[in-house]
């Protein structure tokens, strides 16, 4: 893989604009190369090989001697091409500007443009890195204070008496206290020498090595460690308030609304465990940020090295050495803050949160990346092939038995087809989600971060497609086993075993979904269950993006919910042995037929209501809630029109559906996708686009409008086609809505990702366990 592609693939997606624009600089170099080739072709050298003249001229240059110093000064005066200086005077803080020393040569304007662009990219990278390092230094200082509080908290809760404490334990506490103090002073920029001396004394008193299990073993001079030991002062706890973060449940939400949120300050083992978990999570996220910063610095330095070597090759000059020396002496090239912070975080985490086990601590801080397994690819190909084979077998069987014209066709389509269509909706949604994950990854949309997946547990397109193909094989095999059209003439019934296959398949899927053992992507299954539960309990839970996104998916699965209702009616109130039911004649069934369709939209309305009244208090959420109410009204009118024929109901259904379609389409394209911006750099789209082909966005907008008009089928009374039964037509319309939702998913997440990119937001915010409070008296005395 060429460096340009590798460089892009290794970028932090949310920081993409802060990286050096390698391709832009490379394109300028291509222009310089073409110009030089054109000049050489117009003025050919007689029988002189390319580049040989330069080599011959060097034979007649004055000998500079064998002394290296003398050689460097002489060659520099003759071959110097650029002069890089800092406008601010201080190389670590000023803006860098390159002066090109050969402005009179042919094509020099292109090289001037190159160095101007190069300086811009270098200053951009340097400024961004400085800003991010300042942020992590400030965050490290806060984490250091939190660790001080945690150690004092441990001493208080565990009631440690220092007269009978083991010397190794004292040394461990002392070691971390020195590290914390050292870090605080370094972050503030004071007393570097003093704290480095302390660090050296500590390391000389405690020599560490790892045993066979990866645990730290300290050989400590007990006398020196105990004599110099100063435990964390418990007085700091007088000014510390524990940030009580209770698990969010419906009960806690109701209590928070009805009762006062004040609670007594307690220092218990339970609170200590919570603080340990919170602070270890904060350190892991902080370490992840440091790793990304280190990778950012390395990639950009490598990119500058590569582009300057390309410049030397294209221009036949020797400018890379001078420029790269400047890069190395700049902040991004010389700052060691990130590496020092990484070492201290590793030391603190291993000692205090991994019980001294180096291997365990580093595995937690640096989780291994998922490896693609050949077994997964093999199973994916096998199950996909089986699905295709079963579809072909089904088509051949239908044609061979002449099932389309069988007398039992109508009974089958009315009673059995709605049962199996449930699996069709689920499989189709999973296949489209698999395609979404593929294109999100291809266009560098950071969907694991947006959804909040635990690192290394997110499912890629292969895993999702594997699950969908597995479910498709089960469903198609069940259909083939239950394809009898005519009942037994002797018993006047169908086989109970085959008629129970759809119900058995539903039970199997539910068992697999809720299976507690770590098989079939347990973390993803439970993440889905958690989001579904939080959505169902709206508005009692805080609305996170995954809950919001999942509830939107449910609004496109209305027909799947109605299929579940039909399962209950068919198997508990119908006669499945004779394939007959009276569901459509029951008023209770009709009422629930409407209710189950409204539930997903009602969930979204409650989520919007909570965000409007409790969380963000943004009027846009109120307007979004009204949008879902308009959809509910349209759905009620269309369903009522199905049950009660009449011109009045048809007009109400058409008008309410038309209004809802206009409102939903506008919201999809303008708000959720962020498109139709007239004044943007990309007319009628938006300033930033992940997909390089603009026609894709216009096509998606057109498809969204067309697919949203699928409701017209029910209003206009088009229930059957010459080759499609009524239930098949219903399934087709439901499938079109699922496809529309799949298109919506890609652009919705793209817009969310680009909003994160605009704010360079690439990390989760982790709540800290302690809050330091300073008394007013102390503030006045300090001033």
The burial of 147, by beta-carbon neighbours within 10 Å (0-12 exposed, 13-18 middle, 19 or more buried), is given as buried
Is 134:338 a contact under the CB 8 Å cutoff? no
CA 173 to the chain's CA centroid: 37
In angstroms, the Cα distances linking 291 to 31, 138, 285, 298, 305 are: 36, 17, 10, 11, 21
Looking at residue 574, what is its pLDDT? 83
CA–CA distances in Å: residue 490 to residues 409, 416, 498, 575: 20, 22, 17, 17
Nearest residue to 335 (alpha-carbon basis) of 36, 130, 180: 130
For 41, residues 6+ apart whose C-beta sits below 8 A from its C-beta are none
Give the closest residue to 152 by CA, choosing from 218, 223, 80, 238: 238
**Across 69-73, 210-214, 330-334, which has the greatest mean pLDDT?**
330-334
Is the preceding peptide bond at 709 cis, omega within 30 degrees of 0? no
β 216-220/206-210 pair status: antiparallel
Residue 49 burial by Cβ neighbours in a 10 Å radius (0-12, 13-18, 19+): exposed
Of 160-164, 190-194, 350-354, 673-677, which one has max mean pLDDT?
A: 673-677
Instruction: Band the pLDDT of 166: cuts 50, 70, 90.
Output: very low
* Residues 678-701 pLDDT 10s: 888 998 999 999 999 999 999 999
284 pLDDT exceeds 50?
yes
Of 201-210, 327-336, 455-464, the range with the lowest mean pLDDT is 201-210
3-state helix, strand, coil in the chain (%, to 5): 70, 5, 25
40 pLDDT above the threshold of 90: no
Contacts 24+ apart (CB under 8 A), 232-237: 232/148, 232/151, 232/152, 232/155, 232/173, 232/177, 233/152, 234/152, 234/155, 234/156, 236/148, 236/149, 236/152, 237/149, 237/152, 237/153, 237/156, 237/267
Strand pairing report for 206-210 and 240-242: unpaired
| Choice between 773 and 296, residue whose per-residue pLDDT is larger | 296
Instruction: Say what the pLDDT of residue 352 is.
Output: 87
Select the highest-mean-pLDDT range: 74-83, 220-229, 590-599: 590-599
355: left (phi over 0), alpha (psi -120 to 50) or beta: left
Question: 575 with 581: CB under 8 angstroms?
Answer: yes
Question: In Å, what is the CA distance from 517 to each residue of 455, 512, 523, 531, 532?
Answer: 20, 10, 10, 19, 20
pLDDT above 80 for 577: yes
Q: Which of 289, 675, 590, 635 is nearest to 449 (CA)?
A: 289
**Which residue reads 């970028």 in tokens?**
11
- Please name the residue that has the structure tokens 């595995």: 363
CA–CA distances in Å: residue 183 to residues 136, 288, 340, 345, 350: 12, 18, 9, 10, 17
Q: What is the mean pLDDT of residues 207-234?
A: 48
| Rounded Cα gap, residues 121 and 186, in angstroms | 30
Q: Ramachandran region of residue 682, left (φ > 0), alpha (ψ -120 to 50) or beta?
A: beta
Contacts 24+ apart (CB under 8 A), 116-120: 117/21, 117/24, 117/25, 117/28, 118/25, 118/304, 118/307, 118/323, 119/95
pLDDT at 31 over 60: yes
User: In terms of DSSP bridges, do strands 96-100 and 82-86 run parallel, antiparallel, or are they unpaired?
Assistant: antiparallel
Give the rounded percent of residues in the chain with a pLDDT score beyond 90: 41
Mean pLDDT of 741-770: 84
- Of 288 and 54, which is predicted with more confidence? 288
Mean pLDDT across 727-741: 93
How is residue 188 written in tokens? 């503030």
Whole-number pLDDT of residue 493: 84
Residue 72 confidence (pLDDT) above 60: no
Q: What is the pLDDT of residue 644?
A: 82
Query: Six-digit token pair at 324?
Result: 């790269």
Continuous H helices in 683-759: 694-708, 712-715, 726-758
Packing angle between helix 501-514 and helix 461-481, nearest 10 degrees?
160
For residue 487, give the H/E element and its range: none
pLDDT of the residue at 367: 75
When pLDDT is averaged across residues 254-258 and rounded to a whole number, the result is: 61
- Residue of higher predicted confidence among 64 and 432: 432
pLDDT of residue 547: 94
Residue 777: what pLDDT? Answer: 45
Cβ proximity of 296 and 19 under 8 Å: yes
Lowest mean pLDDT among 321-330, 389-398, 485-494: 485-494
Contact, 437 vs 460, CB < 8 A? yes
Q: What is the pLDDT of residues 661-671, one digit of tens each?
A: 999 999 999 99
Residue 83's SS3 state is: strand
- C-alpha to C-alpha distance for 320 and 312, rounded to whole angstroms: 7
Burial pattern 202-233, b for ≥16 Cβ within 10 A else e, equals beebbeeeeeeebbbebebeeeebeeeeeebe
pLDDT tens digit sequence for 133-155: 999 999 999 888 888 888 888 88
Rg (Cα) of the chain, in Å, rounded? 34
Which of the pair, 411 or 50, is modelled with greater confidence? 411
pLDDT digits (tens, 9 = 90+) for 434-451: 999 999 999 989 899 899
pLDDT band at 721 (very low <50, low <70, confident <90, very high): low
Q: Nearest CA to 668 among 616, 607, 746, 613?
A: 746
* Confidence at 720, pLDDT banded by 50, 70, 90: low
How distant, in Å, are the alpha carbons of 136, 146, 763 from that of 289? Answer: 8, 18, 7
Buried b (16+ CB within 10 A) or exposed e, 375-396: eeeeebeebbebbeebeeebee
* Distance (Å, whole) CA 463 – CA 523: 13
- Answer with the residue of higher pLDDT: 196 or 241: 241
Summarize the confidence of residues 86-93 as an average pLDDT.
Answer: 59
Determine the Cα–Cα distance for residues 370 and 104; give it in Å rounded to an integer: 55
Residues 6+ apart with CB under 8 A from 269: 157
pLDDT tops 80 at residue 346 = yes
Q: Give the pLDDT band (50/70/90) at residue 647.
A: confident
Q: How many residues does the chain have?
A: 783
Examine the pLDDT at 485 and tell me if it is beyond 90: no
> What CA–CA distances, in Å, run from 119 to 20, 83, 98?
10, 12, 7
The pLDDT of residue 576 is 87
pLDDT band at 641 (very low <50, low <70, confident <90, very high): confident
Q: Is the dihedral of CA 64, 69, 75, 78 positive or negative?
A: negative
pLDDT surpassing 90 at residue 573:
no
Is residue 169 within 8 A of residue 216, CB to CB? The reply is no
Looking at residue 14, its pLDDT comes to: 84
The distance between the two most distant Cα atoms of the chain, rounded to a whole number of Å, is: 114
Cα–Cα distance between 110 and 314 in angstroms, integer?
12
pLDDT tens sequence across 615-633: 888 999 999 999 999 999 9
Tell me: pLDDT of 49 over 60. Answer: no
Which residues neighbour 681 within 8 Å (Cβ) at sequence distance 6 or greater? 687
pTM: 0.79
Provide the pLDDT confidence category of residue 221 given band limits of 50, 70 and 90.
Answer: very low
pLDDT band, residue 71 (cuts 50/70/90):
very low
């Amino acid at each position: 893989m060429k460096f340009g592609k590798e460089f892009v693939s290794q970028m932090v997606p949310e920081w993409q604009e802060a990286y050096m624009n390698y391709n832009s600089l490379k394109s300028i170099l291509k222009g310089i190369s073409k110009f030089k080739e054109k000049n050489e072709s117009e003025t050919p050298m007689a029988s002189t090989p390319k580049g040989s003249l330069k080599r011959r001229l060097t034979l007649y240059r004055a000998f500079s001697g064998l002394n290296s110093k003398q050689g460097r000064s002489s060659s520099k005066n003759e071959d110097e091409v650029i002069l890089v200086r800092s406008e601010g005077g201080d190389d670590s803080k000023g803006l860098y500007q390159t002066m090109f020393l050969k402005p009179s040569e042919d094509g020099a304007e292109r090289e001037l443009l190159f160095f101007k662009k190069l300086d811009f990219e270098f200053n951009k990278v340097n400024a961004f890195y400085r800003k991010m390092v300042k942020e992590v230094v400030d965050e490290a200082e806060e984490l250091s204070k939190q660790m001080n509080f945690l150690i004092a908290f441990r001493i208080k809760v565990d009631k440690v008496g220092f007269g009978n404490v083991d010397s190794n334990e004292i040394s461990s506490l002392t070691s971390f206290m020195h590290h914390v103090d050292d870090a605080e002073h370094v972050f503030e920029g004071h007393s570097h020498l003093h704290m480095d001396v302390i660090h050296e004394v500590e390391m000389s008193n405690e020599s560490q090595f790892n045993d066979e299990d990866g645990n730290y073993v300290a050989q400590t001079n007990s006398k020196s460690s105990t004599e110099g030991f100063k435990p964390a002062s418990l007085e700091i706890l007088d000014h510390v308030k524990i940030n009580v973060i209770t698990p969010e449940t419906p009960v806690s939400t109701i209590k928070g609304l009805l009762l006062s949120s004040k609670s007594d300050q307690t220092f218990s083992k339970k609170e200590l465990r919570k603080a340990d978990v919170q602070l270890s999570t904060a350190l892991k996220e902080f370490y992840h940020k440091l790793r990304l910063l280190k990778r950012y610095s390395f990639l950009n330095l490598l990119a500058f090295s590569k582009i300057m070597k390309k410049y030397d090759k294209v221009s036949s000059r020797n400018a890379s050495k001078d420029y790269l020396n400047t890069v190395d002496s700049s902040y991004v090239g010389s700052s060691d803050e990130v590496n020092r912070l990484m070492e201290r975080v590793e030391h603190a985490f291993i000692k205090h949160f991994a019980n001294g086990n180096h291997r365990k601590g580093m595995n937690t801080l640096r989780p291994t990346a998922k490896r693609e397994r050949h077994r997964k690819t093999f199973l994916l190909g096998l199950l996909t092939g089986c699905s295709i084979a079963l579809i072909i077998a089904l088509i051949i069987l239908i044609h061979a038995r002449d099932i389309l014209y069988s007398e039992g066709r109508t009974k089958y389509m009315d009673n059995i087809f709605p049962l199996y269509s449930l699996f069709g909706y689920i499989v189709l949604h999973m296949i489209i989600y698999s395609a979404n994950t593929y294109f999100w990854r291809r266009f560098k949309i950071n969907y694991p971060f947006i959804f909040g997946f635990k690192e290394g547990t997110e499912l890629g397109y292969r895993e999702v497609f594997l699950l969908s193909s597995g479910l498709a094989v089960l469903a198609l095999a069940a259909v083939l086993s239950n394809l009898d059209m005519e009942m037994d003439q002797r018993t006047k019934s169908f086989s109970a075993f085959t008629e129970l296959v759809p119900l058995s398949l539903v039970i199997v899927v539910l068992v697999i979904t809720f299976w507690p053992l770590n098989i079939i992507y347990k973390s993803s299954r439970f993440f889905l269950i958690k989001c579904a539960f939080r959505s169902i309990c709206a508005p009692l839970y805080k609305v996170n993006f995954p809950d919001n996104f999942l509830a939107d998916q449910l609004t496109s699965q209305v027909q799947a919910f109605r299929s579940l209702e039909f399962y209950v009616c068919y198997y508990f109130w119908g006669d499945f042995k004779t394939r007959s039911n009276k569901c459509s004649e029951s008023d209770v069934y009709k009422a629930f037929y409407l209710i189950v369709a409204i539930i997903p939209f009602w969930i979204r309305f409650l989520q919007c209501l909570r965000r409007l009244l409790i969380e963000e208090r943004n009027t846009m959420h109120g307007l979004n809630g009204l949008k879902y109410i308009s959809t509910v009204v349209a759905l009620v009118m269309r369903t009522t029109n199905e049950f009660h024929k009449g011109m009045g109901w048809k007009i109400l259904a058409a008008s309410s559906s038309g209004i809802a379609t206009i409102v939903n389409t506008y919201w999809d394209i303008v708000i959720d996708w962020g498109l139709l911006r007239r004044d943007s750099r990309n007319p009628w789209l938006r300033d930033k686009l992940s997909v390089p082909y603009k026609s894709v966005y216009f096509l998606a907008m057109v498809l969204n409008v067309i697919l949203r008009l699928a409701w017209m089928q029910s209003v206009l009374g088009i229930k059957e086609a010459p080759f499609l039964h009524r239930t098949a037509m219903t399934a087709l319309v439901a499938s079109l809505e699922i496809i529309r939702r799949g298109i919506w998913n890609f652009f919705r997440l793209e817009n969310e990702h680009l909003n994160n990119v605009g704010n360079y937001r690439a990390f989760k915010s982790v709540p800290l366990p302690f809050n330091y409070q300073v008394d007013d008296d102390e503030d006045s005395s300090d001033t």
